Structure 1
């Protein structure tokens, strides 16, 4: 990113430019495969990621619950076992995180479909996954994996937007499923 494009007093524009630039490089066919996997009705979905990737996965899982999917986050005490016919979505920048790779291996052995969002499409996780949505982070002015994690959340919100466009009264249904314990 060219630091000269954004005045230093407005760093939020620099973040926005990075996200926009990355979103422009997303493979539409890979995105469509993710949407297609979530169109299958009646499937249980499990989400996972470690660290901040896990936080992005948790936020996305909530939205998928809002549109009516049966969703669990791995590691939560109420998450049941992953079995054949289920789906597992994992967010991992490196695609090498041992816990994430282990979860993918177990899910595949059980007959679940695995989706991976990673910026390393040649990684071990990507090799296990049935569907890979590459998030091609190259350089960033932000610390650590921030650009990757932000973009993954936006991409999964875009999947929700796509799916919700085919659900009658989607926003009304989503508000009905939104927590009322706040």
Structure 2
């Protein structure tokens, strides 16, 4: 086997997982972003990195979006949305953040493998993404990839699809978004 083989397998896996995402729930997330005053995104590890890329694209579209835990992140208030990317839905550092957001009157959306998890149950909206070796054991999805790689890749593709849908609804294009691209690089 070689790298080309593995790339083909990863793409095949992504084709399978992306087809399993609910269009209805995806549209609800786009609408929640549109309705929110501010959008906050939280995640840990590689899931958190995918979330940071999502925040960057939202910023490029003019959405008031922030990564939880950064020094420039403002306070969450009623009318704001917290999006939490978490495979397990049980990440010990994220559960208290979700509880606090709910107590402050924020809406919470989970992007997770585990809708029955603590974070899934606390959330107002849950987008279920497949993608770990555990799914293979349950007979749901197949992956040759280690740990949560398939979930994290699916998250990034899902977030980019949400951006495209948002662009469509707001009639934005890439040229308009470049006006907000970093220029001190």
Q: TM-score, normalised by structure 1?
A: 0.92
Cα distance between partner residues in 1 of 2:95 and 2:83:
12
Residue of structure 2 equivalent to 1:173: 176
C-alpha separation in 2, matches of 1:171 and 1:40: 22
Runs of 4 or more, structure 1, over 4 Å off, are none
Aligned 1:15-164 pairs, distance under 5 A: 15-40=10-35, 43-137=37-131, 138-139=135-136, 140-164=143-167
8 A Cα contact 1:67 1:170, kept in partner: no
Cα drift, residue 148 of structure 1: 0.4
TM-score after normalising by structure 2: 0.90
Q: Distance in 1 between matches of 2:32 and 2:170?
A: 16
Q: Matches of 2:101 and 2:160 in 1, distance apart?
A: 24
Q: CA RMSD in A?
A: 1.3
Task: Check whether the contact 1:107–1:113 (CA below 8 A) recurs between aligned residues.
Answer: yes
- The CA distance in 1 between the partners of 2:176 and 2:78, in whole Å, is 28
Residue-by-residue CA offset, 1:134-153 (whole Å, 9 max, x unaligned): 00232321111111011011
Gapped runs of 5+ residues in structure 2? 137-142
Aligned equivalents of 1:168 and 1:110: distance in 2? 32
Retained in 2: the 8 A contact 1:89–1:115?
Answer: yes
Query: How many pairs align?
Result: 175
Which one of 6, 9, 13 corresponds to residue 14 of structure 1? Answer: 9
